[in-house]
Amino acid sequence: MEYTGKQKSYLKSVANGLDAIVKMGGKGVTENLIKALDEALTAHELVKVSSFERDRDTRTSAARALAEGTQSQLIAILGRTMLFYRENPDHPTVSKSLNKIK
């Protein structure tokens, strides 16, 4: 699902108070990193991932690979922080309010 600008702005505002709970180290995108992000998305729906990678293009490629590997939506890349969202139909938290925004 593609989100509108207002929906992405809402997700960014919600994420503003969140800490990055997944960290991407020097090895880049690994199976363990995908698994950790997948579990975090299931638990929280909206997750920040911090990266230690300096190169912007490499961070962008990694973010796209993580989104694909977890079937999530890449909402934004803010410096070295990536923001991912995936709705949890069993335990919606963020999605309750998000679906009201058009």
- According to the model, what pLDDT value does residue 56 have? 92
Closest Cα to residue 94, out of 8, 4, 5, 1? 8
Domains of the chain (ranges, CATH numbers): 5-98 (3.30.110.60)
> For 67-100, how does the pLDDT look when each residue is reduced to its tens digit (9 = 90+)?
999 999 999 999 999 999 999 888 888 877 887 7
Closest Cα to residue 66, out of 43, 35, 42? 35
Closest Cα to residue 79, out of 52, 47, 40? 52
Q: Which residue has the higher pLDDT, 98 or 8?
A: 8
Query: Residue range 15-31: average pLDDT?
Result: 93
> For 31-57, how does the pLDDT look when each residue is reduced to its tens digit (9 = 90+)?
999 999 999 999 999 999 999 988 999
Q: Is residue 69 within 8 Å of residue 42, measured between CB atoms?
A: no
Tokens matching residue 59: 């961070």
Q: What pTM was estimated for this model as a whole?
A: 0.92
